[in-house]
Structure 1
Amino acid sequence: MTELPIHRVLPQLKKALSTGTHAVLIAEPGAGKTTQVPLAFLNEPWLAGKRIIMLEPRRIAARSAAGYMASSLGEAIGETIGYRVRMDSKIGRDTRIEVVTEGVLTRMLQDDPELTGIGMIIFDEFHERNLQADAGLAFAMESQAVLREDLRLLVMSATLEAEPVAKLLGDAPVIVSEGRAFPVTTHYLRSFPLDEIHKGAAHAIARALSEQEGDILVFLPGAREIRRTANELLRTGLSPDVVIRELYSALPAEKQDEAIKRDVNGRRKIVLSTSIAESSITIQGIKTVVDSGYMRTEVFSPRTGLPQLITRRLSRASADQRRGRAGRVSAGVCYRLWSEEEHRQLPESTIPAIRESDLAPLALELAVWGARDPEQLAWLDAPPRLAYSQGQALLKQLSALDDTGSITRHGREMALLGAHPRLAHMLLKAQEIGEASLAIRIAVLLQERDILSRSEALRDQDLRTRVERLLLFEQHGQRSAQQDTANEAVLQRMKQEIRKLHAQLNIEYAANGDLNLCGLLLSFAYPDRIAKNRGGSGFLMRSGRGVKLAAVQPMSRARYIVAAAVDDQGADGNIQLASEMDEAWLEEYYLDEMEQEKEVAWDTASGSIRARQKLMLGAIVVKEQAYPNPTGEEIANALLQGIRQEGLGLFQWSKAAVQLRERMAFMFRHEAEGDWPDVSDEGLLDRAEAWLLPYLDGLRNRNDIRRLAPGTLLEHMLSWEQKQQLQKEAPTHIKVPSGSQIPINYSNPEQPFLAVRLQEMFGMQDTPRIAGGRVALTLHLLSPAQRPVQVTSDLSSFWANGYYEVKKDLKGRYPKHYWPDDPMEAIATNRTRPKA
């Protein structure tokens, strides 16, 4: 057997797990950890014939690792070594090492928390930090702590920072193995925008073919870029001794194996791969790596409410992983499609999926596990609280959780399907009405890229069009037309997935379905996105958010739709995928989610009370009719609403009422004691329940309100003592020397004033005062024609200084009137001259 770097630390690793139950192994790429470590523990005494489960993040890595280990034992897969991935397994009665993917491990733990017959779980490539791996480790640790003290847990990684995970595992020992990497020369090239990355990759590949020997591994974001790069290479021409191989997760297993192994005809191989080739699998013959610098990762999409694949720049850790693939067998070369400066700007490590994923699937798994709160488990990164709460809220809406957060029977059935909770709920509800086959196609369409061309998709957002197109392909294949070559691969993949889901649900495959039910089935997955037409291709979702169709189409006339995909641009999102929903289905399937609302409200247009009964689905008014007998309390509250809405101008204010209000405002401002009410607009409206509500009985409209006497209502706000104090300290009138009773103007509570003819004030020495002498009145002294000639708050100063100038002017204009030389000694008069 070839000596590998991992062999040098296996004794240390065995000792750690013979004396303890946790360990962390950090092994550089090429060390051999994936294929050698599980085999090394097969005959350990503590294992005692039990099985080893090794978790691999990717299906291709799981199959590859199982195949390599089986061949090293001279056996076929399914004997000592086996694997289990979604919808595919090769496990035998004597299998001791099972290589599984994340969803499989979670299901095993859920089905048997004690993990009967299992002695060890290995978490390989843990640095990828997939959500299911984090959950699997959390479940396994709790199982170990509560049920299986003898269970061994080993976390293996190539680049993971060891200390945090070692601490999580109770200060587990950390064993480090150096890799068998040869030096790799790195060339930085110019970067390309994502839509031209295939051209940049083809250029770099051509350069590598001319400058280097051996096979070339090219990292690209996804299958689309892989196809475009392959076409670009074929267009520019390749030597007959060079062959292109594609490698991504959706390829058939035989195609993946073809990419991993050496070419049977000895040709140079260009492997166009997604990030699945970063770790775990060894592609034979690779001496050169071309790295696009992009990766495709899954994040939660508010647009669809489902996980969404997005393309972003990779991290420096991932870039180093990729470069290392060129140094597995000899010195290698890496061509990077970005500059050194751009490299320094890359994030140091990849964001753990748990921080940016839709956590509804995790919340479902935890509920099945029996944990209502994620804090009950141990996490390397705890699930974000808000995202987790949103996930739980969705599960309650899908009937997966009850009001206490506990799993329901329906929720357990959803979890068994292994699909996203939205899709699982839709599939189960569709089975109940005999339309599972149609629901399967909708589920597959929702998880794949749009099968319509870009121009078609801009004109037509109807899900039904996609279902029809898919069914046509299933029935007639490529002859159905309207399909480009690239889409054919997507449709073929969909067709395979459809058959697998039929088998999983134990349903006979059939390429048909009642397309009129597309909207109903879609609503099972998206009950929160049922929307009602509000005109102009705009709709209101039950959440209260507005959405719209970008182009006029038959669905624009639909009364109700379900919006499966909505972009996040602007106040009203653009609908990207939806289906019409029959109004009758709302009452048949969502009546228990509706609420009856009685609305008694002020209608400004009519100036009266409007009473309606509404059947509401969230923010959507499903039905509305007159509410015939609103209660007096409801009417009174609606009148208050109208008064607050339109203001106190609804009342008919007499002069006396206005003055009373102003006098009360004066006392509120100047009286420190007595708890005087605030009679400003804001104060009265804020306290309307106290002073106004008791007098609204029997009123219904604006005319009724105008018949109220607001002065009387204000007076009722005062106690007997306050009324006496008001009369004394803020009188309505004041008697002046002429004997006239002159009204005081309180319109400015800070500076009340008296407008009086100058001649009526003769003989008064000082300015009159109110509020117990605390506030001097401002005097607006008037001419005989009632025009202001002087404003003063100091009457004695005016007599001594200003009067004589005013007298000169007024005596010339009003010669018949009395203008004494000494106003302080003169007789006041309200006539032309005083009586003799």
Structure 2
Amino acid sequence: MLRVPIEEVLPALQETLRGQVHAVLVAPPGAGKTTRVPLALLDAPWLQGRKILMLEPRRLAARAAAGFMAKLLGESVGETVGYRVRMDTKVGPTTQIEVVTEGVLTRLLQADQALEDYGIVIFDEFHERSLHADLGLALCLQSQSLLREDLRLLVMSATLEAEPVAALLGDAPVLTSAGRAYPVETRFAARRIDGRIDPVVVRTIMEALEQEEGDILVFLPGTGEIRRVESQLPRRDGVRVTTLHGGLSREAQDLAITPCPPGQRKVVLATSIAETSLTVEGVRVVIDSGQMRVPRFSPRTGMTRLETVTVSRPSADQRRGRAGRQAPGICYRLWTEQEDQQLKLRSTPEIQEADLAPLALELATWGVTDPADLLWLDPPPASSYQQATTLLQQLGALDPSGQITPHGRQMAELGLHPRLAHMILQGIPLQHGQLACDLAALLSERDLLRGDRLATADLRLRVDVLRAIQEKTELPSTTVDLHAARRLLTEAKQWKRALQIPPQEKSDPEACGLLLAFAYPDRIAQRRPNGRYLLRNGRGAALPELQEISNAAYLVAAEQDDQGVESRIYLAAPVELEELKKHLHTQIREERLVEWDASTQSVKARKRERLGALILRDTQLTNPSPEETLQALLEGIAAAGLDKALPWTRNARQLQQRMHFLHQSDPTWPDVSELALTETLADWLGPHLYGAKNLSSVQRLNLTQLLGSRLSWEQQRELETSAPTHMVVPSGSRVPIDYSDPHAPVLAVRLQEVFGLPETPRIARGRVPLLMHLLSPAQRPVQVTRDLASFWANAYFEVKKDLKGRYPKHYWPDDPWNATPTHRVRPRPTN
């Protein structure tokens, strides 16, 4: 057996786990931790006949690790070493080491919270910080504290900052292993790459084939880029181009990681799946695009999208290290040295950016309603977790208190995303189980028609493709990913078998829309008059181009982006309104709307059936109660503003102002300010509006009487005394008093009419002097004063000079105190 660097620390690790239940092991890529550590622990006495459980983040890595360990033992997989991954299990009665993927660990924990069959759980490649790894560790820690004090937990990583994990594990000891890495020369791009990276990757591959030795591993963001690069690479004798990503068959993945026959070279086009956990044999050259595709969940929209991001420093170093696993190598980094200095120092944990609905369902199944009850390296964000529990309640998985329901337990047992599990369970009693499983498979993987220029968003077309392949009939599309389709059929078949769905059941693909409505109730969409759609959650959406389902009155958007104000719909199926009413009737709310219609200036009464933001039915309500009508009318008056809505006359406005003036000095008077009248509409105006439905009826009211009725008989008498409407001036004229400013009532009068008036007139029983606007013969103010006596004594004579020059025919006496007042040009002569 080839000696590897990790063997230097295995004795210390064995000794640590003999006396403690926690440990952290940091070992760089190539140290051999994934395959040697489990084997080194096989004979540990503390196992007491129990098995070793090792968690791997990916199916390919899990199968490869199990296969390599079995090879080291000279056995086949399924004997001492086995694996459990989604839809594929190889374990036997003698299996002592089980390599599992993350969802499998969660299922094992839910089936047996004490993990009685296992003596240790190893978390490999924990630095990737996947959601399931964080969840698995949190659940194992609680299981250990409550049920299994002897359960060992070992966290292994290549680039992990060990201190936070060690602290989470109660200051667990940290062991560090040296790696076995050959020198790797790093070459950076001369300039920043703008536009698509595919042509640059192709040129670099061709350069490396000409100048370097060994196989080439190329890191690309996703399968789209892999396909484009593969199609652009010129074919060369002796060079085999393979691909490596999670969507491939096991055989295709194995082809990518096994050595080439002598005399041949291979180019492996891979996603980030090749960063850790497995060795791609023969690689001497790495070409790194510097990009990766990660899922990002948006609490704003409730949707997850794949986003292309720049790799972090640890990821870049992991990729570079792949070139030096077996010999000195070369790493081409397709970014500049300046850009290299700006790489993030760590990757963002998935729990901070993921859809947390699966996590919330697992916690509820475990018996936890508050994530704070568990220990986390990074706790789930509160807003995303709240949105997840809201969705689960909408799906019937949680009750209003957050406890799991029987339906929720059934959903959790399926191991699917809660949306898809709910869809299948709802579809079975409707005889749509077969179709629901097909849809679940289609929605669990990337679109098998993605990239087909003839493909539409219609999911029914994908169902037709699967059935055509299954029945060996002509395909409805010429650019189907046949391998992906066959893999989907296999997964769907396994679900059908597990759920005992009769194979003779034949669902009409037209039921796709209804099934999607079960899975995505928040994405039911209603067609708008402009051809776009309104989603139940209130967001807008649109199909990217005109297609057959563009005329559907209702559809369900299973896949869409969340860019901008309006989402683009990529996968959807039409659904009939009657189906929604029949099967989602508990979510449909009936509402009576008696409200003000500003366009008609009247009260409108409607009866509506609503599904979130969607109005499914809208009819006239014939019998609104008088109270509802009155309330809507008052709200309409308030919204329009009293100034516009009420029939103000000059007398009504003056009465309001006089009452408001007296209220300023005596709060026992009614407050008739605009704000107070608006806030008390129901009290003073409401009783007079019963039966009214529009502003025309309001306009017939007598506001002067309504305002006056708010005064007692004593206040009405006091109003005439303390706030008179007019003042009789020395000329005999009755001049109105302006109360528009309650703090300064104004008497605007021509100067000649107040000759002989020695003092400023007062109101409010002499407490308030009027603000006198003394006017010229042309009714223009020539003086504003509250002190008439001072005006006569001082300013009058200057004003007189000016007025006499402009109005020489008028009367301008030298002695204003004793002059005769007049409303004429000159006083009448006395006999």
Q: Same fold (TM over 0.5)?
A: yes
Q: Which of 316, 322, 327 is the matching residue for 1:330?
A: 327
1:684 & 1:531 partners in 2: Cα distance?
44
Q: Percent of aligned pairs with the same residue?
A: 50
Q: Does 1:54 align with 2:54?
A: yes
C-alpha displacement at 1:364, in angstroms? Answer: 0.6
State which drifts further: 793-802 or 393-402.
793-802
Q: Map Cα deviations across residues 393-412 of structure 1 (whole Å, 9 max, x no partner).
A: 00011111111111111111
Q: Does 1:283 align with 2:280?
A: yes
One-letter code aligned to 2:333: R
Could you tell me which residue of structure 2 aligns to residue 699 of structure 1? 692
Indicate conservation of the 8 Å contact 1:529/1:542, yes or no: yes
1:453 & 1:227 partners in 2: Cα distance?
11
Q: Does 1:99 align with 2:99?
A: yes
Q: Which of 641, 656, 666 is the matching residue for 1:661?
A: 656
Could you tell me which residue of structure 1 aligns to residue 605 of structure 2? 611
Indicate conservation of the 8 Å contact 1:600/1:610, yes or no: yes
Could you tell me which residue of structure 2 aligns to residue 80 of structure 1? 80
1:737 & 1:692 partners in 2: Cα distance?
41
1:639 & 1:599 partners in 2: Cα distance?
13
Q: Which of 800, 807, 811 is the matching residue for 1:804?
A: 800
Could you tell me which residue of structure 2 aligns to residue 464 of structure 1? 460
Alignment of 1:613-762 (within 5 A): 613-648=607-642, 649-668=644-663, 670-671=664-665, 673-674=666-667, 679-718=672-711, 726-762=719-755
Q: Map Cα deviations across residues 435-463 of structure 1 (whole Å, 9 max, x no partner).
A: 122223333333444444658479x4333
State which drifts further: 266-275 or 800-809.
800-809
Could you tell me which residue of structure 1 aligns to residue 501 of structure 2? 507
Aligned-partner SS, 2:2: coil
One-letter code aligned to 1:228: R
One-letter code aligned to 2:70: A
2:593 & 2:744 partners in 1: Cα distance?
46
Alignment of 1:165-564 (within 5 A): 165-190=165-190, 196-233=196-233, 235=234, 237-238=235-236, 240-300=237-297, 305=302, 307-452=304-449, 456=453, 460-476=456-472, 480=475, 482-484=477-479, 487-507=481-501, 513-564=507-558
Indicate conservation of the 8 Å contact 1:358/1:387, yes or no: yes
Q: Map Cα deviations across residues 223-266 of structure 1 (whole Å, 9 max, x no partner).
A: 33333333333x2x42x333223222222222222222222345
Indicate conservation of the 8 Å contact 1:537/1:552, yes or no: no
State which drifts further: 314-323 or 568-577.
568-577
Alignment of 1:781-820 (within 5 A): 781-782=774-775, 787-788=779-780, 790-793=782-785, 794-799=787-792, 800-805=796-801, 808-809=804-805, 812-814=808-810, 819-820=812-813
Aligned-partner SS, 1:707: coil
Could you tell me which residue of structure 2 aligns to residue 151 of structure 1? 151
1:253 & 1:807 partners in 2: Cα distance?
108
C-alpha displacement at 1:195, in angstroms? Answer: 6.7
Indicate conservation of the 8 Å contact 1:602/1:642, yes or no: yes
One-letter code aligned to 1:204: T
Aligned-partner SS, 1:639: helix
One-letter code aligned to 1:197: I
**Unmatched segments (≥5 aa) in structure 2:** none
C-alpha displacement at 1:771, in angstroms? Answer: 4.6
C-alpha displacement at 1:127, in angstroms? Answer: 0.3
Indicate conservation of the 8 Å contact 2:248/2:484, yes or no: no
1:264 & 1:780 partners in 2: Cα distance?
110
Alignment of 1:811-830 (within 5 A): 812-814=808-810, 819-830=812-823
Indicate conservation of the 8 Å contact 2:83/2:100, yes or no: yes
Indicate conservation of the 8 Å contact 1:828/1:834, yes or no: no
C-alpha displacement at 1:745, in angstroms? Answer: 1.4
State which drifts further: 428-437 or 87-96.
428-437
2:221 & 2:650 partners in 1: Cα distance?
79
Indicate conservation of the 8 Å contact 1:471/1:511, yes or no: no
- Name the CA shift for 1:312/1:191 in 2 (closer, same or farther; >3 Å): farther
- Name the CA shift for 1:304/1:543 in 2 (closer, same or farther; >3 Å): closer
Aligned-partner SS, 1:281: coil
In the TM superposition, structure 1's runs of 4+ consecutive aligned residues that sit over 6 Å from their partners are none
- Name the CA shift for 1:604/1:248 in 2 (closer, same or farther; >3 Å): closer
Alignment of 1:129-148 (within 5 A): 129-148=129-148
2:36 & 2:486 partners in 1: Cα distance?
37
Indicate conservation of the 8 Å contact 1:303/1:566, yes or no: no
Q: Does 1:565 align with 2:559?
A: yes
Aligned-partner SS, 2:631: helix
- Name the CA shift for 1:167/1:693 in 2 (closer, same or farther; >3 Å): same
Indicate conservation of the 8 Å contact 2:301/2:562, yes or no: no
- Name the CA shift for 1:834/1:568 in 2 (closer, same or farther; >3 Å): farther
- Name the CA shift for 1:77/1:576 in 2 (closer, same or farther; >3 Å): closer
C-alpha displacement at 1:9, in angstroms? Answer: 1.1
Aligned-partner SS, 1:704: helix
State which drifts further: 207-216 or 352-361.
207-216
State which drifts further: 61-70 or 293-302.
293-302
1:60 & 1:382 partners in 2: Cα distance?
28
**Unmatched segments (≥5 aa) in structure 1:** none
Could you tell me which residue of structure 2 aligns to residue 128 of structure 1? 128
User: Cα RMSD over matched residues?
Assistant: 2.7
2:553 & 2:252 partners in 1: Cα distance?
48
1:659 & 1:326 partners in 2: Cα distance?
92
Alignment of 1:55-70 (within 5 A): 55-70=55-70
C-alpha displacement at 1:278, in angstroms? Answer: 1.3
Aligned-partner SS, 1:121: strand
Q: Map Cα deviations across residues 800-819 of structure 1 (whole Å, 9 max, x no partner).
A: 324533662576445xxx65
1:512 & 1:812 partners in 2: Cα distance?
109
One-letter code aligned to 1:792: V
- Name the CA shift for 1:810/1:199 in 2 (closer, same or farther; >3 Å): closer
C-alpha displacement at 1:798, in angstroms? Answer: 4.3
Indicate conservation of the 8 Å contact 2:591/2:607, yes or no: yes
C-alpha displacement at 1:183, in angstroms? Answer: 1.7
- Name the CA shift for 1:57/1:667 in 2 (closer, same or farther; >3 Å): same
- Name the CA shift for 1:453/1:61 in 2 (closer, same or farther; >3 Å): closer
Indicate conservation of the 8 Å contact 1:827/1:834, yes or no: no
Q: Map Cα deviations across residues 182-211 of structure 1 (whole Å, 9 max, x no partner).
A: 221111125775974333223222222333
One-letter code aligned to 2:606: R
C-alpha displacement at 1:377, in angstroms? Answer: 0.6
- Name the CA shift for 1:631/1:98 in 2 (closer, same or farther; >3 Å): same
Aligned-partner SS, 2:772: strand
C-alpha displacement at 1:38, in angstroms? Answer: 0.8
- Name the CA shift for 1:152/1:724 in 2 (closer, same or farther; >3 Å): farther
Could you tell me which residue of structure 1 aligns to residue 761 of structure 2? 768
C-alpha displacement at 1:474, in angstroms? Answer: 4.2
One-letter code aligned to 1:788: R
1:229 & 1:653 partners in 2: Cα distance?
77
- Name the CA shift for 1:81/1:584 in 2 (closer, same or farther; >3 Å): same
Q: Map Cα deviations across residues 544-564 of structure 1 (whole Å, 9 max, x no partner).
A: 233334544443433322233
Q: Map Cα deviations across residues 620-645 of structure 1 (whole Å, 9 max, x no partner).
A: 22223333332232122111111012
2:637 & 2:301 partners in 1: Cα distance?
44
2:271 & 2:453 partners in 1: Cα distance?
28
Could you tell me which residue of structure 1 aligns to residue 41 of structure 2? 41
1:546 & 1:369 partners in 2: Cα distance?
37
- Name the CA shift for 1:227/1:543 in 2 (closer, same or farther; >3 Å): closer
Indicate conservation of the 8 Å contact 2:449/2:479, yes or no: no
1:257 & 1:575 partners in 2: Cα distance?
36
One-letter code aligned to 1:688: L
